[in-house]
């Protein structure tokens, strides 16, 4: 009579043991990105941009092929770096919105870009929202805490421009 009872408890103990071993553990959240509401998205777009934009060599090849000045490529990467830094600096102070500062480019994107603002969280999904939009583009982004600055602007959703497009300044 006692043997089946002991056997039953041994089985019960074993099941309990298995549950403890295999129960899914609570997800570990990376603490480094866990300091505020928007913190989870605050990963620098630098690495993503490196993958998604053409390399310097690729651009140089293109510029040589069409007989344009190679300095266009340096300028492109300098402005890109400035804009990445603006985002990274903004992440330290918790910037959520950016406004665009347009250049003298006459293309549809650049000439109207100051009508738009950019949300920090949109950068994660769509790095094409970070200027330069094409070779020769000198547009910049500036982080802002001033809500009145973006009130009159529209949120940017996409940029219709390819890096190979070179426009004349107006
Ligand atoms: Zn342009
Ligand atoms: Zn531009």
Residues 111-165: pLDDT tens digits?
999 999 999 999 988 999 999 999 999 999 999 999 899 999 999 999 989 999 9
Query: At 98, phi and psi to the nearest 5?
Result: -130, 145
The whole-number pLDDT of residue 41 equals 60
What DSSP line would sit under 106-154, residue for residue? -SHHHHHGGGEEEEHHHHHH-GGGSSP-STT---EEEEE--HHHHHTSE
Query: What is the mean pLDDT of the segment spanning 60-86?
Result: 97
Compute the distance from residue 38 Cα to the ligand 2 centre, in Å: 28
Residues 3-34: pLDDT tens digits?
777 666 666 666 665 555 565 554 444 444 44
Joined together, the tokens standing for residue 156 give 């940017």
Query: Closest ligand to 140 CA?
Result: 2
- Contact partners, residue 15, CB within 8 Å, separation at least 6: none
Task: Tell me if residue 157 falls in helix, strand or coil.
Answer: coil
The closest of 100, 99, 93, 116 to 38, measured between CA atoms, is 93
**Cβ–Cβ under 8 Å, residues 142 and 98:** yes
Query: Closest ligand to 131 CA?
Result: 2
Of the chain, the end-to-end C-alpha distance in Å amounts to: 98
Joined together, the tokens standing for residue 18 give 């298995």
Query: What is the mean pLDDT of the segment spanning 44-69?
Result: 96
Query: Closest ligand to 105 CA?
Result: 1
Compute the distance from residue 42 Cα to the ligand 1 centre, in Å: 28
Query: What is the mean pLDDT of the segment spanning 53-69?
Result: 96
Strand partners, 117: 99, 155
The closest of 95, 130, 135, 137 to 116, measured between CA atoms, is 130
Strand partners, 118: 98
Give the residue extent of every domain in the chain.
Answer: 45-155
Q: Where are the beta strands (DSSP E) in the chain?
A: 97-101, 116-119, 140-144, 154-155
The whole-number pLDDT of residue 32 equals 43
């Amino acid at each position: 009579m006692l043997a089946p009872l002991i056997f039953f408890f041994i089985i019960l103990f074993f099941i309990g043991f298995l549950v403890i071993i295999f129960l899914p553990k609570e997800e570990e959240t990376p603490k480094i990105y866990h300091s505020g509401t928007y913190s989870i998205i605050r990963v620098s777009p630098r690495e993503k941009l490196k993958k998604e934009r053409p390399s310097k060599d690729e651009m140089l090849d293109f510029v040589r092929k069409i007989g344009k000045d190679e300095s266009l490529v340096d300028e492109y990467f300098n402005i890109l770096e400035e804009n990445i830094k603006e985002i990274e600096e903004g992440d330290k102070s918790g910037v959520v919105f950016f406004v665009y500062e347009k250049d003298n480019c006459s293309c549809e994107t650049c000439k109207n870009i100051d009508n738009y603002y950019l949300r920090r969280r949109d950068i994660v999904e769509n790095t094409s929202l970070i200027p330069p939009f094409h070779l020769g583009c000198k547009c910049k982004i500036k982080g802002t805490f001033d809500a009145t600055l973006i009130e009159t602007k529209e949120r940017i959703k996409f940029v219709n421009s390819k890096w190979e497009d070179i426009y004349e300044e107006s």
